[in-house]
Structure 1
Amino acid sequence: MSNSFYFFFLLLTLPAFAQKTYTTLQVPGRAEFCSIDPAGKSVLPSGRYVSPAGNTIRVTNDPFGMALAPNGQRAVLLHDGVLTVMDLTKAPKAIRVPDYAGTIPPVLKGGSFLGVAFAPDNRTAYLSNGDKGRVLVFDTDALRLVDSISLDGNGYEDSFTSDLLLNGNELLVLDRANFRLVRIDRATQRITASIPTGRQPFGLALSPDRKLAFVANVGLYVYPKVPGVTRTNKDTMALKFPPYAAHTKESAEGVEAEGRRIPGLGSPLADEAMSVWTVDLATNKVVNRFKTGVQIGEMIEEAEVVGGASPNSVAVGGRYAYVSNATNDNLSVIDYRTRKLAGTISLRIDPKLDRYRGLMPFGLTLTADQKTIYVALLALNAVAVVDVPTRRVRGLIPTGWGPTRVALSPDEKTLYVTSARGYGAGPNGGQSFVKPPQGTYIGDIQLGTFQAIPVPTLVQLAVYTKQVLANTYQTVALTDNGRNPLPVLPKTRLSPIKHIVYITKENRTYDEVLGQLATGRGDSTLARFGTGVTVRSRIATSRGTSGRTNDQPGDTVRITAADISPNHVHIARQFAFSDNFYCDSDASIHGHHWMMGTIPNEWVEANAASEGRFDAFSKAPGRRFPKTTGAIDPEDYNEIGGLWEALERNRVSFFNFGEANEYAGSVEEWTTTQFGAAQSVVFPMPKAVYPHTSRNYAGYNTNIPDQYRMEQFEQEFTAKWLNGKQTMPQLVTVMIPNDHGASPRPDFGYPYLHSYMADNDLALGRILHFLSRTKYWKNMLVVVTEDDPQGGVDHIDAHRSLLMLAGPYVKRGYVSHTHANFGSILKVIYNILGVGYVNQYDLTASLLQDFFTDKPDFRPYDVVLPDGRIFDPQQAMKPYKKPFDWRKIQKGPEMDDRADQRAEHYRQQNEGN
């Protein structure tokens, strides 16, 4: 056979996909590290850019409330426990209350939530005092508190002040704890009426003639206390596992569980659930209940809708009211004269993106001529300009990260926009870092922004629109030769990787764990959880102005040359890690949403940014509000869900160890070992993951050793997928949370904060040691990351965290510098398992093909012990009367031998007779 004929024959036998070119969408910053450049483009943790239009200044983080004075010369921004008074007479200037110098005293003690309104005198502002259930009266000239008005009384208690507005001589105030609209006489400060609303009233608006009030309700269910649970017995009487999945017959009607009748939640389509109510202010009667947006249970492109519309804000004209439905990326139009829904405005911005959700419309404002609506797109970092007559998006205006509110100046020549996270966080530690006045915690260092934007012409708007889209994604053509184990797109070809294990840990930054590695871009001075480090007695608080772990007066050096995380270091060196990975999240309440493919909506964001007291035993039903830390509440679900729902739709097998376990009001004791957290209030799990979740694996609960979790994991894995008849699922999610840290507990084997990290490190080493000795290893990928980075500091960005990949098809000794986030991880999972993307963040994430090789290396990983002076695993397991058997751990999984199989065979035969 000639060489030319052989080459021709080889071409004919190659797979059809060889050298095929695909078009992908990826973030523009995929080759860059996070950075802040107010004069240019800042790179966010997602890899997207922000370049806010107009005159932009930085303010305190999370401004979720904004009001303009009637004369347009002043604005008040409301943050959690802080307010900002803006002078708008020339270039915007900000005064923080309280100021960092301590000359202006605090006003909002006990937090705040959304609501702020100006009086006609252009001086007096009314502020939501949120969790305290009060309205504060504030003098914006003197910068002092004038008065406060309590919403409690007349049979109501535990009030929680939400949105509010001025209606002539009265205040209209939402009480989200008691599900009501409160009318307050300004002169007497007396409550004149309490009118029922739907669940968790969130947004409030008034018709121009002041006859109708519109209330947007974001709550879905009323969550009951678990029967039999009291304040004194909750540690033993709380439910050990959620009693049912959301949106099921069981959740609607209730079930028998753990010897009790657990009440149901009713229908998610009830009038009280995620709706807009109109109140006739002449009669104090609710005259309409509108179900806006797409409803749960409907089908959209062969996908069942699982998330409610989350109607959150309302703008009202002379005949029509416009409602932002965050989950659906649209606006509902209400004809309140005929009392009917009059259509939908789909926020379509780009044919490449429009099929997917990912805008999250929030605050909105309507022009005086009622022809234009400006809508803050919380998840797109832009304001949409909507043409009302055509019901189309006219264009986009670039904002900071996470725009929340929009307002027009009285002359409608200037648009004002607030954004929750502004330009991002930037570094919060390192050798050259100088501590700013607001501190170094991620939620404090990440300032918001306030923009004053001249209302753009059509020509300028076209330029802005191109800028927003360019900040969001780039179109990248990639040639796939069929060799890389990570396909360019889902469902284009099969990957040799058949099983993915997705491991999540808690709250660590890159620098504090891997900052010593010379191959990565780290700062070794921040590596308090590295190897060869010194453990000090005041490690949790000993921070110098640089953010480094420094000796402080009174510190006692306890241990030197300690190896806290030897397995993390060995795994990173042996396999592959990223030095350019960022959590999209600031804290766990965001992180467990993003990790599982759910974009946090306005309810999650506003709740996370506000102090709020959860009380299972309160008479106010809204005090049992959903504010899940380590799971996802029904109020939070995206339109067609996230990762789990996508897997279920595509019939991809999966199993969950420990995710979705920590709901509001959880009981977390060292004895709560079945699921890690017990429930005093009835919260359901997402329907897709409920039947695929271990009933005997402790999720988040730092009172339980990660070594105990490894015992649970190894036993169930062995029983199900090694010795049992089932095959290992295609995706397995595992939570090992103790790197979160907690107070030292010497009697339980945790003498230092570092002990929790050492426990976690050993668990991570154990799970990889175990998996790499199973029959599934030859086709396995292990992904290791953190849910958020809030526990530490980093010299690149406070969001930078851990991403390590391990497996035969992962490059050995490799460092990836590709900008990555949770969307990148999900893109790995979706592309390998052949699952279509769910939202715009999956669609546009960077593609991490550089991690992989087509030449597999099947060598297993060998676990190592951490420093015994820091953590003694035997001591940690002693309360559970379980030995720590190091030899057994090193041996790996124990497969059944022939003698065991023979004995089991005859036992079953005898039982059959």
Structure 2
Amino acid sequence: MNSLIKILVFFLAIIITSCTHQPKITVLNAPAGELPTQINKSGITIIPNGRLITPAGVTIPVAPHPYGLEISNDGNIAVTANSGTRPLSISIIRDLLSTNPLVQQVPPGPFSDKGVISSVFMGLAISPDQTTIYVAGGQENGIYLFNAQTGNKTGFIDCSVTAKGRKVKDGYIGDMVLSKNGKWLYAVDQIQFRVLIINTKSLEVIKAVGVGRYPFGIALSPDGRKVYVANVGMFEYKPIEMENENQKGLKFPPFGYNTDEAKYGFRTDSVKVHGLGDPNIPESFSVWAIETSNPEAAHVTAKIKTGHLVGELVEGIPAVGGSSPNSIVATDEYVFVSNGNNDNISVIGPHHDTIITEIYLKPHEAIKRFRGVIPFGLAISPDQKRLYVAEPGINAIGVIDIPSLKVVGHIPAGWFPSKLKVTPDGKKLIVANAKGFGSGPNGGRDFKPGPEGTYIGSLMKGNVQIIDIPTDEELKKLTEKVIQNNFQISCSDDPKHQWRKKNPIPLFGGQKESPIKYIVFISKENRTYDEIFGQIEKGDGDPSIARYGHNASFTNRAKADSVQGATVMPNHLKLARDFAISDNFYVDSDVSADGHRWLVNTYPNEWVETNTPASYGGNRSFKYNSDAPGIYAMTGSAGAIYPEDYNEAGSMWEHLDRNGIDFFNFGFGIMFEPAVYQESFKYT
């Protein structure tokens, strides 16, 4: 990340009724304008996409990427599951609601300790007597037990063996829920497509129930008689079969997304490509209900499709991506499901397990046709009158009135709120913000590395936010703040846009004809603006780290050879000096995997955001000889968009195609993992 970055000013223009002239064009800008990124924990933090972070309440720092959160029955203990990049850990916060809460990270320090926790992913539970913390062990195919008072590890539940003695070698344990009496623990196994039922006294798996693809979220009905699981996957992937064992791949992609070839597959004399099937079958993007009155005889009773189907016409556009149901909570009257790609909440009637309605999260009239709220974690107030929704796309918490099933407001959160809970007394909202206040710079004149080093994934500390439940009047003001933090809204004839009159890029579609006829888009990665252009006088950069600029000197790793006074990237520098340079144009990402998605106009949903730090932290590894049906969803650092995270309206390529704009793609965004390939392929 640049040590000093100006904010990309983005423009979105739409026709709405809030402007006073005809045609009524409203322009949306990033609220930070040209201000540089900054972390100000007691004021306004500016993150790289130009949005502002002003979390309500107080925050407590924890390790990077806390995608799991649980609180104890008395509200005194909170635990986060920190799934990467490093340290793989849990954070135990005791005396949570006091003026001086105590944080214990297990294991301590900036690095992972596989002797304590070798894998962790999202799932947490705390026993009713507040003595035991259950931690989902991800790819270790098990569940860790820790003492809630000391933080010491006390046991491990092996999820590779079921009650009938069947051995399941590979698994990936994620979200979990504990029965009220603490006797039964229910956990999803993402890659074996199953829900595990565990006896907490014997610490044994007594039942495994097959469910849909990549089960992600799980919830228990208030009476404990039914478990609901959200399946976030679309397809079950299979490797390409080659007759020639020396042939390791195809020269071109075998088919286009959602074509007949994609559904049914094809074969030649030497290659068999398996079809992916129908994207709308019950196993994909769905919620399954499991009867658990007798846990040892648990069985599936309903399969419910939530959100929009692939191909369904939504506001005039056939849906490209699926709904991405990811989190669930249940009341006596309703079951709520967050659909990450549709920006809505499905409401299920538990008596017949059918969809009643959908609640759309549209924080402002000006953005009602856009997507990107990314509803994720859910929490219910103890009186079952309020539903709280993590909205990581706008760094907020949505508030829904349950009796009316209406959105009543939004609360400012940290960067990428993931999971949330309401304290038992109903007075506080506890939120885990996966990216906290951001990483800040990892180099430059004023940067001093700490014990965690310089890697962005280690610098991206999360936090836990404690918020007083607002009154209705307070909620109105908080909602206004959320809008201000995300959008600067104006009319196209506002005087502040006059400077753009001679700009060849129209302020909005149809404003004028642009002289630009062709765009050549070349993507390179792993280099910051400052590293290459930090010496450019007309840009706002840091020349102290311009190691790929003019007069650069460096040696090889062995220190056996060196180059002095070189101009490393002369073509880039000449283009910048002779033509134009933008010192506030960059991708909103942490690493390659999410960055390549942003580059093709798709925002990473909760599936990508949770998987990416786990993968980069060695916490979500592909095992080539595994028999797990979901093993090919271990996406690693792949930059390609997967069907599981395709946005509702698709990517840049679909937008161009829908608008009749011709384009050539010379291979961008088709590097899939897991795969067998030469390491050098990804650099071509």
Q: Partners in 1 of 2:472 and 2:131 — Cα distance?
A: 35
Is 2:274 aligned against 1:263? yes
Deviation at 1:106, TM superposition (A): 6.2
Q: Which has the higher helix share?
A: 1
Q: Partners in 2 of 1:313 and 1:192 — Cα distance?
A: 25
Is 2:591 aligned against 1:583? no
Is 2:167 aligned against 1:155? yes
Contact kept in structure 1, 2:134 and 2:143, CA below 8 Å:
yes
- Structure 1 segment 115-264 matched on structure 2, within 5 A: 115-153=123-161, 154-167=166-179, 168-228=182-242, 233=245, 236-257=247-268, 259-264=270-275
Contact kept in structure 2, 1:307 and 1:636, CA below 8 Å:
yes
Q: Partners in 2 of 1:569 and 1:229 — Cα distance?
A: 48
Find the residue that maps to 2:603 and give its secondary structure: coil
Contact kept in structure 2, 1:59 and 1:450, CA below 8 Å:
yes
Letter aligned with residue 488 of structure 2: Q
Deviation at 1:583, TM superposition (A): 2.1
Q: Which residue of 2 aligns with 1:661?
A: 670
Contact kept in structure 2, 1:97 and 1:107, CA below 8 Å:
no
Q: Partners in 2 of 1:338 and 1:158 — Cα distance?
A: 35
Q: Which residue of 1 aligns with 2:120?
A: 112
Q: Partners in 1 of 2:443 and 2:405 — Cα distance?
A: 48
Larger Rg: 1
TM-score relative to the length of structure 2: 0.90
- Structure 1 segment 393-432 matched on structure 2, within 5 A: 393-432=407-446
Cα deviation per residue 1:364-418 (whole Å; 9 max; x = unaligned)? Answer: 0112222210000011100000011222111100001111011011101000011
2:93 to 80, 86, 98: 86
1:510 to 509, 518, 529: 529
Find the residue that maps to 2:400 and give its secondary structure: strand
Q: Partners in 2 of 1:483 and 1:392 — Cα distance?
A: 45
Q: Partners in 2 of 1:430 and 1:622 — Cα distance?
A: 42
Q: Percent of counterpart pairs with the same letter?
A: 37
Deviation at 1:656, TM superposition (A): 0.4
Contact kept in structure 1, 2:621 and 2:634, CA below 8 Å:
no
Cα deviation per residue 1:230-267 (whole Å; 9 max; x = unaligned)? Answer: 9xx4x623333321122221111111257323221110
Cα deviation per residue 1:319-341 (whole Å; 9 max; x = unaligned)? Answer: 31000011111111111112221
Is 2:377 aligned against 1:363? yes
Is 2:340 aligned against 1:331? no
Q: Partners in 2 of 1:438 and 1:372 — Cα distance?
A: 40
Q: Partners in 2 of 1:296 and 1:510 — Cα distance?
A: 38
- List gaps (5 residues or longer) in structure 2: 1-21
Deviation at 1:629, TM superposition (A): 1.4
Find the residue that maps to 1:237 and give its secondary structure: coil
Cα deviation per residue 1:549-590 (whole Å; 9 max; x = unaligned)? Answer: xxxxx9556221122111121111111112233320111111
Find the residue that maps to 1:500 and give its secondary structure: coil
2:64 to 58, 61, 65: 61
Q: Partners in 2 of 1:587 and 1:473 — Cα distance?
A: 25
Contact kept in structure 2, 1:371 and 1:388, CA below 8 Å:
yes
TM-aligned CA distance change 1:107 to 1:470, over 3 Å: farther
Find the residue that maps to 1:203 and give its secondary structure: strand
Q: Partners in 1 of 2:23 and 2:197 — Cα distance?
A: 65
Find the residue that maps to 2:238 and give its secondary structure: coil
- Structure 1 segment 217-616 matched on structure 2, within 5 A: 217-228=231-242, 233=245, 236-257=247-268, 259-281=270-292, 282=294, 283-479=297-493, 483-538=502-557, 555=559, 558-610=562-614, 611-616=619-624
TM-aligned CA distance change 1:380 to 1:258, over 3 Å: farther
Q: Which residue of 2 aligns with 1:797?
A: none
Cα deviation per residue 1:738-797 (whole Å; 9 max; x = unaligned)? Answer: xxxxxxxxxxxxxxxxxxxxxxxxxxxxxxxxxxxxxxxxxxxxxxxxxxxxxxxxxxxx
Contact kept in structure 1, 2:620 and 2:634, CA below 8 Å:
no
Cα deviation per residue 1:28-76 (whole Å; 9 max; x = unaligned)? Answer: 1122011111111111111111100001122222110000011111111
- List gaps (5 residues or longer) in structure 1: 1-18, 539-553, 677-700, 705-913
Letter aligned with residue 628 of structure 2: A
Q: Which residue of 1 aligns with 2:17?
A: none
- Structure 1 segment 708-747 matched on structure 2, within 5 A: none
Q: Which residue of 1 aligns with 2:657?
A: 648
Deviation at 1:170, TM superposition (A): 2.1
Q: Partners in 1 of 2:448 and 2:504 — Cα distance?
A: 44
Find the residue that maps to 2:335 and give its secondary structure: strand
Q: Which residue of 1 aligns with 2:29?
A: 26
Q: Which residue of 2 aligns with 1:49?
A: 52
Deviation at 1:228, TM superposition (A): 3.4
Letter aligned with residue 533 of structure 1: A
Q: Which residue of 2 aligns with 1:859?
A: none
Q: Partners in 2 of 1:112 and 1:101 — Cα distance?
A: 16
Deviation at 1:622, TM superposition (A): 1.1
Deviation at 1:448, TM superposition (A): 1.4
Find the residue that maps to 1:34 and give its secondary structure: coil
- Structure 1 segment 819-830 matched on structure 2, within 5 A: none
Deviation at 1:426, TM superposition (A): 1.4
Say which is worse superposed, 526-535 or 121-130, in terms of deviation. Answer: 526-535
- Structure 1 segment 708-857 matched on structure 2, within 5 A: none
Deviation at 1:484, TM superposition (A): 2.7
Alignment length (residue pairs): 638
Q: Which residue of 1 aligns with 2:10?
A: none
TM-aligned CA distance change 1:257 to 1:452, over 3 Å: farther
TM-score relative to the length of structure 1: 0.68
Deviation at 1:626, TM superposition (A): 5.4
Contact kept in structure 2, 1:225 and 1:616, CA below 8 Å:
no
Q: Which residue of 2 aligns with 1:40?
A: 43
Cα deviation per residue 1:415-457 (whole Å; 9 max; x = unaligned)? Answer: 0011111112211112222212322111111211210000011
Contact kept in structure 2, 1:332 and 1:344, CA below 8 Å:
yes
